[in-house]
Copies of this chain bind each other. A is one copy, B any other.
Amino acid sequence: MANARRSGFRRLGVDLTDRSTIMQVMTPSADTQTRILESARELIHARSYADVGVTAICEHAGVNKGSFYHFFPSKRDLTIAVLDTYYLEMKEQLLDRAFSSDIPPLQRLERLAVLIYEFQKEVADRAGHILGCPFGNLAVELSTQDEPIRRKVAEIFARLRADIRQTLEEAVETGAVQGIDVGATAEAMLAYFEGVMLMAKTRNDPDVLRQLLPALAQIRIAHPGD
C-alpha cells in the first residue's frame, strides 16, 4: 500500500479543536480508502472474489465508484491490498498471541489451533457460515486466473511457513522433537491447516475444526537423511 499520504485530521463526530482526539494517520481520503478496504475485506471473505462486484464494494463502503478508482487502479490491486490487511490481522490476532514464548514450542502450535477455532467460530456466528481462510479462498479461486494475486498469496504463505518453521526450530533445540525436516514439516502443517479450513467450510461445521485442528501439532516430515 505504501501509505505515502499523511497530514490532515479526521473527524469522528468530535470537536476538532480538542487536540487530544486528533488522529494523525488518517486523512479524509485515507478514511475513504480505508472504508473501501474494509468493505472489500468483509465482502470478499464472506462471498468470493467474482461474486463481489466493485459496485457492491462501493455501496457497502458508502463511496462512489469514481472514488474507488481514485485510490485503486483496479479490483485486482484492491484485492492485493486486502490480502495485506488480512495478513496484518492474522499476525496480530493469531500468530503473535500463539507464538509468545511463555510455553514450550509445540504447545504454542496447539494454542494456535485453539485460537483459530475460536476466531473462525466467532466469524461463522456473525456471518451464518464458516468462511474459511481468506488466503486459501483467494488462492483457490484465482491462482489459475490472476498471477499477481497468486504470487501475493504465495508470498503470505511463505511468511506463515517461516513463522511455523521458527517455532519448530525452537522445538528441535529444546529436544522436544528430533529428526524432522523443519521446512517441510512447517509446509505440511500449513497445508493441513488450509485443508482443515476447507473441510470445515465445505461441511459448514465448526466442530470439524475442533476435531481436526489439534492434530496440527503432531504432523512430522522426517529429515531427508532418514
Contact = CB atoms under 8 A, between A and B. Distances in A.
A202 interface: yes
Interface stretch (A23-31, A89-97, A164-172, A192-200): A192-200
Given A48-B141, A143-B129, A191 B204 contact: no
A51 to B, nearest CB: 6
Contact of A191 (B131, B142, B199, B220): B199
A3 interface: no
A136 B211 contact: no
Interface stretch (A12-20, A60-68, A98-106, A182-190): A182-190
Given A187-B199, A202-B153, A208-B187, A141 B143 contact: no
Contacts of A190: 195, 199
Identical copies in the complex: 2
Contacts of A140: 132, 136-137, 140-141, 198, 201-202
A150 interface: yes
Interface string A203-223: 110001001100100111100
Contacts of A194: 194-195, 198-199
Interface of A: 46-51, 127, 129-132, 136-137, 139-145, 150, 153-154, 157, 184, 187-188, 190-196, 198-199, 201-204, 208, 211-212, 215, 218-221
